[in-house]
Amino acid sequence: MIEVVVITGRTTDQGMTIDEKLSEAYMKAVSFCEMNEKDMEKLGVKDGDRVLIKNELGEVVLYVKKPEMDLQPPEGIVFIPMGPYANRIVGILNGSGTPQYKGVKATVEKTDRAVLSVEEIIME
Amino acid sequence: MIKDVVCTFCGNACDDIEFEGDYGRNLCPVGEAKFARKERIKTPMINGKEVSYDEAIEKAAEILKSSKRPLLYGWSSTVNEAIRLGVIIAEKLGGIYDQCSSVCHAPTTLAMIEQGIVGGTLGQAKNRADVVVFWGCNPVEAHPRHPTRYSVMARGFLTRGRSDRRVIVVDVRKTPTAYLATDFYMIKPNSDFAIFTALRSIVNGHEEAVPDRVGGLKKEELIELAKTLESAKYGLVFFGLGVTHTRGHERNVEAVIKLVQDLNKKTRYILQPMRGHFNVVGSGEVPAWEVGFEYAIDFSRGYARFSPGEFTAVEALIRGDCDAAMIVASDPVAHFPKKAVERLKKIPVIQIDPHPNLTTKIADVVIPTAIVGIEAEGTIYRMDGVPLRVKKIKDTNYPTDVEIMEKLLEKIVR
């Protein structure tokens, strides 16, 4: 298990599937996380494996995706595309009206648990 | 061929799209996906059962009228004409009007109320800017044509494109936008406020007050960055949710506004938030000219009150204040934190949208409408506040958001 800071944000694939949220393409676009190779080594995970990300807000199981080219996040930072998966573990309220969707602490561990479908994740 | 079509996806609102049948020239990949054929909500529904539009609107009006404090939320992907009616409906019902900014650039609105903003249009970026900063934003993925159309490679009256520009990208991770940068600075999460403040100290001649390292940047790097900023003949700072979604929120934005004010003592600078949806600006501008506020507006006392953190959708839902919700042109179930979604699942929800999404899954009343900018026309505001008329390029049997809002208002005041 490692401690990380979670960052969320838009991606091209998320934008392209935003009007088709009940499709497989949308699930594929938002149900993964990207992390540094060194963090992947520490966890003993490779591209396509699953991890459990947890904090006081909740938990979520995501696929690990090896970032393309040299776009890996720095060590200790995990990127998740914005959407229903990320929202299980981000969104700290602080009175300003806008939840904190970025820079949220969490722990990451390897897991055998399944990644839920988009519908399962909102109905759970 | 239909010329000068406005793309209704992101805040760029590119208005140079040309349609030859189903083929749209000049679209980016995200725009292409927007205009592609996809699954639609086929008919109005009440609790999953197909009904007529009249029945669905009647039921929606009944839910809203019997609610003590309905939340009317969304609006960023529809036209100003529909938003205007939405604000009136919220007022008649004594409900809450809130819009997508409240989970997005609302801290920017708050900071602008406190500080004002040295603003301009994207035309300034194209025609004048020689130093362009992207801070906590990733236009290559979120606003794909921004660099070529307005900011990085765009040729204007006084600029000859990329070779004339120094492009600075500041982010907590390397994004594809960093490939466009002359200088890329990787900073630590939640350190924007500290870095803006350090840069202000340097720009204002108090270099000695800056510690050796701030937010992951060495003092030398900060000095170099400040000097680059100052070297502009006409500078432009674009900032995104990397600034508004992190610790500090509106204080971060206030700090960058002040930095731009300070830079204006030495040269010319403007600041532009990278707004997400094509009319998220309208969802704030319209209530601002109707009732004086942009978001988090409560009408329960018969007049408009603004209180972020109290009347913003996420907090109002989590506190359990709202006993019904109407969601127009948005998908909060996909984009709100889990706790707020849990409340939405418990209360009656009315959804008005062209496409089935996660909110459809929990909605009691679903009213499908025409897609704005494809099947319905109207007025929108681009990210820099420039109003544009979006076109209807295809016929449809679906009613427009405006038609639904008119009928709903009629039933509510009846």
In the β-sheet with B268-273, what is the strand arrangement from edge to edge? B183-186, B166-171, B131-135, B234-239, B268-273
User: Are B86 and B64 within 8 A, CB to CB?
Assistant: no
253-282 of B, contacting A, C-beta below 8 A: 276
Q: Are strands B325-328 and B71-74 parallel, antiparallel or unpaired?
A: parallel
Using the beta-carbon criterion (under 8 Å), do B336 and A17 form an inter-chain contact? no
Q: What is the DSSP letter of B265?
A: T
Question: What distance in Å separates the CA atoms of residue B378 and residue B81, rounded to the nearest whole number?
Answer: 7
- Cβ-based contacts of A91 with chain B (< 8 Å): 314, 336-340
Classify domain A2-123 at the CATH topology level. Answer: Barwin-like endoglucanases (2.40.40)
Using the beta-carbon criterion (under 8 Å), do A11 and B38 form an inter-chain contact? no
Helix axes B80-93, B282-291, angle to 10 degrees: 50
Give the pLDDT mean for A94-113.
95
Which of B10, B27, B28, B30 to mutate: most A Cβ within 10 Å? Answer: B30
The per-residue pLDDT of chain A, averaged, comes to 96
Q: What is the DSSP letter of B6?
A: P
Q: What is the pLDDT of residue A96?
A: 85
Three-point CA angle A79, B277, A30, nearest 5°: 30
Strand partners, B96: B71, B298
- Say which amino acid occupies B387: P
pLDDT bin (cut points 50, 70, 90) of residue A124 is confident
Using the beta-carbon criterion (under 8 Å), do A98 and B9 form an inter-chain contact? no
User: Are B332 and A92 within 8 A, CB to CB?
Assistant: no
- Say which amino acid occupies B313: A
Question: What distance in Å separates the CA atoms of residue A38 and residue A76, rounded to the nearest whole number?
Answer: 9
Helix (H) or strand (E) holding B289: helix B282-291
- Cβ-based contacts of B32 with chain A (< 8 Å): 16
Using the beta-carbon criterion (under 8 Å), do B34 and A74 form an inter-chain contact? no
Question: What distance in Å separates the CA atoms of residue B128 and residue B234, rounded to the nearest whole number?
Answer: 6
What stretches of B6-138 show up as alpha helix (H) in DSSP? 29-35, 53-66, 80-93, 106-115, 122-127
Question: What distance in Å separates the CA atoms of residue A35 and residue A48, rounded to the nearest whole number?
Answer: 12
Query: What number of other Cβ atoms are within 10 A of residue B114's Cβ?
Result: 12
User: Are B338 and A88 within 8 A, CB to CB?
Assistant: yes
Residue B289 has φ and ψ, to the nearest 5°, of -85, -15
Question: What distance in Å separates the CA atoms of residue B372 and residue B379, rounded to the nearest whole number?
Answer: 10
- Cβ-based contacts of A16 with chain B (< 8 Å): 29-30, 32-33
Query: What number of other Cβ atoms are within 10 A of residue B249's Cβ?
Result: 26
Strand partners, B171: B186
Helix (H) or strand (E) holding B388: strand B387-390
What SS3 class is residue A94? coil
From the number of C-beta atoms within 10 Å of its C-beta (0-12, 13-18, 19+), residue B412 rates as middle
Domain locations in chain A as residue ranges: 2-123
Question: What distance in Å separates the CA atoms of residue A116 and residue B253, rounded to the nearest whole number?
Answer: 36
Q: What is the pLDDT of residue B317?
A: 97
What SS3 class is residue B361? helix
For A81, the token pair is 């595309």
User: Are B123 and B97 within 8 A, CB to CB?
Assistant: no
What stretches of B218-266 show up as alpha helix (H) in DSSP? 219-230, 241-244, 250-263
Question: What distance in Å separates the CA atoms of residue B372 and residue B382, rounded to the nearest whole number?
Answer: 14
Question: Tokens 């934005």 map to which residue?
Answer: B253
- Cβ-based contacts of B250 with chain A (< 8 Å): 96, 98
Whether pTM exceeds 0.90: yes
- Cβ-based contacts of B246 with chain A (< 8 Å): 100, 102-103
pLDDT bin (cut points 50, 70, 90) of residue A92 is very high
Question: What distance in Å separates the CA atoms of residue A10 and residue A81, rounded to the nearest whole number?
Answer: 6
B394: which residues sit within 8 A by CB, 6+ positions away?
B374, B375
Q: What is the DSSP letter of B392?
A: P
Q: What is the residue-level pLDDT of chain B in tens, covering all 414 positions?
A: 999 999 999 999 999 999 998 889 999 999 999 999 999 999 999 999 999 999 999 999 999 999 999 999 999 999 999 999 999 999 999 999 999 999 999 999 999 999 999 999 999 999 999 999 999 999 999 999 999 999 999 999 999 999 999 999 999 999 999 999 999 999 999 999 999 999 999 999 999 999 999 999 999 999 999 999 999 999 999 999 999 999 999 999 999 999 999 999 999 999 999 999 999 999 999 999 999 999 999 999 999 999 999 999 999 999 999 999 999 999 999 999 999 999 999 999 999 999 999 999 999 999 999 999 999 999 999 999 999 999 999 999 999 999 999 999 999 998
Hey, which CATH number is domain B41-104+279-413, 1.20.1050.10, 2.30.110.10, 3.20.20.80, 3.40.50.740? 3.40.50.740
Question: What distance in Å separates the CA atoms of residue B86 and residue B378, rounded to the nearest whole number?
Answer: 15
In the β-sheet with B2-5, what is the strand arrangement from edge to edge? B2-5, B17-20, B23-25
Using the beta-carbon criterion (under 8 Å), do A10 and B276 form an inter-chain contact? yes
Q: Are strands A104-110 and A50-55 parallel, antiparallel or unpaired?
A: antiparallel
Of B71, B111, B118, residue with least CA distance to B94: B71
Three-point CA angle B35, B273, B383, nearest 5°: 40
Of B94, B95, B119, residue with least CA distance to B109: B119
Q: Are strands A2-9 and A58-65 parallel, antiparallel or unpaired?
A: unpaired
Q: What is the pLDDT of residue A69?
A: 81
Helix axes B250-263, B192-203, angle to 10 degrees: 20
Percent of chain A's residues with pLDDT above 70: 100
- Nearest residue of chain A to residue B362 (CA atoms): A123
From the number of C-beta atoms within 10 Å of its C-beta (0-12, 13-18, 19+), residue A56 rates as exposed
Domain locations in chain B as residue ranges: 41-104+279-413, 106-273
This complex has an ipTM of: 0.97
What SS3 class is residue A110? strand
Q: Does the B106-273 domain belong in CATH 3.40.228.10?
A: yes
**CA-CA-CA-CA dihedral for B349, B352, B354, B358, to nearest 10:** -20
